[in-house]
Amino acid sequence: MLVDRRVLAKIVDAAKIGKSETVLEAGTGQGILTAELCKVAKSVVSYEVDRELIQLAHARLQFQNLELVNADLFKTENLHFDVLASNLPYSRSRDAFEWLAAQKFGRAIVMVQEEFADKLAAKPGSKNYRAISALAAHCFAIEKLFSVGGGSFEPQPKVESAVIRITPVNTVAKETVKSLNLLFSKRNKKASTVAAKIGVKAYFGDKRIDQLAADDLIPMAELM
């Protein structure tokens, strides 16, 4: 759980939330960030899958502009929000970005594990390049704002974190995300061979799937 209020203040400041905006939060947790969001937003909708945590939040957070939802945000559709602000659970970071790729929103300020932030920024052919890298390159403009050390959390993790700003550029269908992941299950195969097997007429020379940029991968995934 994030407990460093200086980091909380920096996250809220970076989000630049207006008085007329609706903020969506993934993971209420102990409600520390939730409370700060409620002070600046028109309304806050905070999702938490843990029933005990959501019950504690109901007792602790007394804000008229807050809606608490005991559900998995990343399995929820047709939400309307301006800003996503969240200290994402490390294990759900990929789910979050795959879900965001299909959403319409203004911007997002999220904290992720530093290693995951590196994957988002990875270039074709590099060691960290994954399906999520290509998806992020196609769907978002991402800016790393600042790093957060383990001392800002209780209990203290052994990894570093990073706060990033996400601006949407394109959206994709959920089926495209699934197809992109399927393509990367063949990441070491020649891209032209994989394309031919799925009925896509394209020639990529000797490049493997993991050497293709998002501009090549996304259209292929959309045709699968």
The reported pLDDT for the residue numbered 218 is 96
Q: Are residues 95 and 201 in the same domain?
A: no
The domain tally of the chain equals 2
Residue 77's CATH number: 3.40.50.150
Q: How many CA atoms are closer than 13 Å to the CA of 170, on its beta-carbon side?
A: 14
Whole-number pLDDT of residue 188: 94
* 157 in the same domain as 182: no
Residues 151 and 46 in one domain: yes
Give the three-class secondary structure for 182: helix
Same domain, yes or no, for 14 and 90? yes
Decide: 72 and 132 in contact? Cβ < 8 Å: no
- Give the count of alpha carbons within 13 A of 11, CB side only: 33
- Assess whether 167 and 180 both reside in one domain: no
Domain boundary among 128, 149, 171: 171
What's the pLDDT at 144? 95
pTM score, whole prediction: 0.92
Same domain, 62 and 78: yes
Nearest to 169 by CA among 101, 84, 116, 118: 101
State the residue range of the domain holding 208. 176-223
Backbone region of residue 23 per phi and psi (left: phi > 0; alpha: psi in -120 to 50; beta: other values)? beta
In this prediction, residue 50 carries a pLDDT of 96
Q: What are the residues facing 114 on neighbouring strands? A: none
DSSP H helices, 61-213, are: 93-100, 114-121, 131-139, 174-184, 191-197
Residues 76-131: tens digit of each pLDDT:
998 999 999 999 888 999 999 999 999 999 999 999 999 999 999 999 999 999 99
Q: Are residues 79 and 66 in the same domain?
A: yes
Same-domain check for residues 94 and 166: yes
Whether 101 and 58 map to the same domain: the answer is: yes
Same domain, 155 and 194: no
- Counting as low any pLDDT under 50, the low residues of the chain are none
Residue 71: per-residue pLDDT: 97
Residue 11, judged by CB atoms within 10 A of its CB (0-12, 13-18, 19+), counts as buried
Q: Are residues 16 and 81 in the same domain?
A: yes
Residues 167 and 182 in one domain: no
Per-residue pLDDT, 158: 82
